[in-house]
Amino acid sequence: MLSKAEARKIMLAVKGASEAPYFGKPSVFYGESFVGRVHDKEEAVALRVGTIEMRDVMLEAEPGLFYITDHYKPWPMLLARLKALDKTVLEELVLARMGEIDAKAKK
């Protein structure tokens, strides 16, 4: 279980991560690409993933960890519950998103 402050600190500690506003909320970026943010209303971290299909697989595979609200359905985003999240998993999710960004940039 992570607190919102711990989750923010972990995300920003990943090499290459920076903080900037996104839709007026403090968010984590890699270069100019959005990675995620600590949600201001939910007890969760909002994370961008590669595709909606990938998101759906993650939701099905780990329903205790991941979920979405109606707001996020049109986008490749999901929410990770802070109560089910640990440092290693959050770091891996951030690094995976950064890898997706790097792969797109090389195309």
What's the pLDDT tens digit per position in 10-19? 999 999 999 9
Q: Provide the CA 50 distance to its chain's centre, in angstroms.
A: 11
pTM above 0.85, yes or no: yes
Q: What is the pLDDT of residue 106?
A: 76
Tens digits of residue pLDDT in 32-87: 999 999 999 999 999 999 899 999 999 999 999 999 999 999 999 999 999 999 99
Among residues 48, 33, 30, the alpha carbon closest in space to that of 93 is found at 48
Q: What is the pLDDT of residue 37?
A: 96
Q: What is the pLDDT of residue 24?
A: 92
- Distance (Å, whole) CA 57 – CA 38: 22
- Which band of pLDDT confidence, cut at 50, 70 and 90, is reported for residue 103? confident
Roughly what angle, to the nearest 10 degrees, separates helices 4-13 and 87-106? 40
User: Order of strands, edge to edge, in the sheet holding 77-81?
Assistant: 17-22, 25-30, 33-38, 44-48, 77-81, 66-67
SS3 11: helix
Other beta carbons within 10 angstroms of residue 15's beta carbon come to 8
